């Protein structure tokens, strides 16, 4: 709305709010927060939140700093709001050095996302529920007689606290599983030969809301006489099971191309292996070998979106002349096709998985057109900057419904 004074609205909001930077330094605070904590703006602005509100040193079980820090770091990592369980977080009494008072809070931490897709600010909203908690903690004292309404409130309160405890246990379990998943994914996507290719950029983006592990992969393999091979693949499904299958297929294909050096034969071997591996059928993969001596790309495609060859003038060619069904789609083994495509120095080869181009309720041709248009527009960028610009243009900086693997090679 025109003329709306958002600064005044924030200041007058009845719920207590802090605004934190990525470094967890307090950059803004509203009047309700000052009243709830007994602080002034001068007390808080420019202070790191845990310097302004440390744990009570006399309480050996104080965990307010630990729990709030974990929540804020989850927001920075996930770029999603985080609702904390009911939290005891005592605060120092102003004017009484060393004095702390018992306080209970119901906090929610919400990210503000910048144009680069990163968290720019965190809005920390709290509700002071100290009076409620202290009142209800006295219900079970000696001589107390609860009315029917008091008993119902006590039961609801107790169940709510139990749900909060269980929710925190589930959150911790999810965090542990995610850490395992991320470590697994990073280990399986390691490509030692990639370090020798300064003109190759790779990207992996997990599906939004996933555990950060899925079935997409990329690989770069050095061969004899200066040749090298690149690949991207996509296992059906998400999660740890798909990631495990991905790891086995990726390793098998890496070994096959080193032994056979022909993309079609390597995919034939991979297809035979996929038949013996549960969850591997209908995997799509494209393998391309680059020969700098003959300026030739030799490739074979098992049901995967076609690679794109981008010329310096902005024109794009889809490498779609050696397309075959996904792994295991045929009931019997059939030799896979292979094609060659000449290239000129300065061309760019782009391999990707379908999450880069596919959108719900949209034909794949529309996604391919969007991809080639963006590649043509950014063709002068180096591989690393081209990868970032491409993801930004396609609106994928924050991920998509499907995971994405991307390889960009400046030839």
Task: Report the alpha-carbon distance of residue 84 to residue 36 in Å, rounded.
Answer: 18
- Is the pLDDT higher at 138 or at 75? 75
Mean pLDDT of 258-277: 90
The pLDDT value recorded for residue 155 is 56
Look at residue 114 and give its three-state secondary structure. coil
The pLDDT value recorded for residue 237 is 73
Interval 148-163: pLDDT, tens: 565 565 556 656 666 6
Reported as a pLDDT band with limits 50, 70 and 90, residue 185 is low
Checking if the pLDDT of 353 tops 60, the result is yes
Q: Taking a C-beta distance cutoff of 8 angstroms, is the pair 26, 20 a contact?
A: yes
The pLDDT value recorded for residue 286 is 96
Phi/psi of residue 161, each to 5°?
A: -65, -40
Checking if the pLDDT of 49 tops 70, the result is yes
Reported as a pLDDT band with limits 50, 70 and 90, residue 181 is low
The pLDDT value recorded for residue 206 is 76
The pLDDT value recorded for residue 394 is 86
- Is the pLDDT higher at 148 or at 299? 299
Q: Say which DSSP state 337 is in.
A: P
Instruction: Write the CB contacts of 215 (distance below 8 Å, at least 6 apart in sequence).
Output: 234, 235, 236, 237, 238, 242, 243, 245, 246, 283, 403
Reported as a pLDDT band with limits 50, 70 and 90, residue 316 is very high
User: What proportion of the chain, given as a percentage, has pLDDT over 90?
Assistant: 47
Reported as a pLDDT band with limits 50, 70 and 90, residue 146 is very low
Interval 362-403: pLDDT, tens: 788 888 999 999 999 999 999 999 999 998 888 876 666 678
- Is the pLDDT higher at 79 or at 182? 79
Task: Report the alpha-carbon distance of residue 411 to residue 177 in Å, rounded.
Answer: 40
The pLDDT value recorded for residue 58 is 87
The pLDDT value recorded for residue 6 is 80
| Token representation of residue 364 | 């794949």
Q: Say which DSSP state 25 is in.
A: B
Mean pLDDT of 199-228: 83
Q: Calculate the CA 260 to chain-centre distance.
A: 36
Task: Report the alpha-carbon distance of residue 58 to residue 243 in Å, rounded.
Answer: 47
- Is the pLDDT higher at 381 or at 213? 381
Task: Report the alpha-carbon distance of residue 31 to residue 12 in Å, rounded.
Answer: 7
- Helix (H) / strand (E) element for 21: namely strand 17-21
Mean pLDDT of 25-50: 93
The pLDDT value recorded for residue 86 is 75
- Is the pLDDT higher at 188 or at 280? 280
Interval 171-180: pLDDT, tens: 777 677 666 7
Checking if the pLDDT of 143 tops 50, the result is no
Look at residue 372 and give its three-state secondary structure. helix
The pLDDT value recorded for residue 221 is 94
Interval 230-264: pLDDT, tens: 999 998 877 777 778 888 899 899 999 999 989 99
Checking if the pLDDT of 285 tops 70, the result is yes
The pLDDT value recorded for residue 21 is 94
Q: Taking a C-beta distance cutoff of 8 angstroms, is the pair 399, 206 a contact?
A: yes
The pLDDT value recorded for residue 94 is 84
- Is the pLDDT higher at 311 or at 105? 311
- Is the pLDDT higher at 96 or at 110? 110
Checking if the pLDDT of 168 tops 70, the result is yes
- pTM of the predicted protein model: 0.61
User: What proportion of the chain, given as a percentage, has pLDDT over 70?
Assistant: 86
Instruction: Write the CB contacts of 275 (distance below 8 Å, at least 6 apart in sequence).
Output: 281, 328
């Amino acid at each position: 709305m025109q003329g709306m004074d958002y600064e005044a609205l924030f200041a007058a909001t009845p719920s207590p709010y802090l605004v934190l930077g990525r470094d967890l330094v307090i950059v803004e605070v509203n009047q309700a927060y000052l009243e709830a904590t007994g602080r002034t703006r001068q007390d808080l602005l420019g202070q790191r939140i845990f310097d302004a509100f440390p744990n009570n040193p006399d309480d050996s079980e104080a965990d307010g700093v630990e729990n709030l820090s974990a929540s804020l770091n989850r927001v920075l990592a996930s770029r999603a709001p985080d609702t904390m369980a009911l939290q005891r977080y005592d605060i120092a009494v102003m004017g009484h050095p060393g004095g702390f008072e018992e306080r209970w809070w119901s906090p929610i931490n919400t990210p503000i996302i910048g144009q680069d897709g990163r968290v720019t600010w965190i809005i920390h909203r709290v509700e002071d529920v100290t009076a409620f908690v202290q009142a209800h903690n006295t219900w079970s004292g000696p001589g107390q007689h609860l009315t029917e309404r008091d008993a119902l409130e006590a039961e609801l309160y107790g169940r709510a606290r139990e749900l909060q405890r269980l929710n925190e246990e589930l959150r911790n379990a999810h965090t542990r599983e995610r850490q395992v998943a991320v470590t697994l994914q990073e280990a399986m996507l390691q490509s030692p030969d990639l370090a020798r290719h300064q003109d190759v950029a790779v990207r992996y983006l997990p599906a939004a809301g996933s555990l950060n592990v899925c079935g997409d992969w990329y690989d770069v393999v050095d061969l004899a006489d200066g040749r090298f091979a690149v690949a991207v693949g996509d296992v059906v499904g998400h999660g740890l099971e798909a990631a495990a299958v991905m790891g086995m297929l990726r390793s098998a294909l890496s070994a096959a191309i080193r032994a056979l050096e022909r993309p079609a034969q390597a995919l034939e071997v991979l297809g035979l292996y996929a038949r013996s591996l549960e969850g591997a059928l209908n995997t799509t993969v494209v393998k391309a070998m680059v020969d700098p001596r003959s300026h030739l790309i030799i490739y074979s495609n098992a049901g995967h979106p076609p690679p794109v060859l981008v010329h310096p003038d902005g024109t794009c060619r889809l490498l779609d002349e050696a397309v075959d069904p996904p792994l295991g789609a045929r009931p019997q083994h059939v030799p896979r096709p292979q094609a060659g495509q000449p290239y000129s120095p300065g061309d760019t080869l782009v391999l990707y998985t379908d999450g880069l181009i596919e959108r719900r309720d949209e034909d794949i041709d529309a996604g391919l057109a969007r991809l080639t248009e963006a590649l043509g527009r950014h063709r002068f960028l180096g591989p690393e900057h081209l990868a970032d610009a491409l993801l930004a243009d396609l609106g994928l900086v924050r991920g998509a419904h499907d995971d994405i693997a991307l390889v960009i090679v400046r030839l």
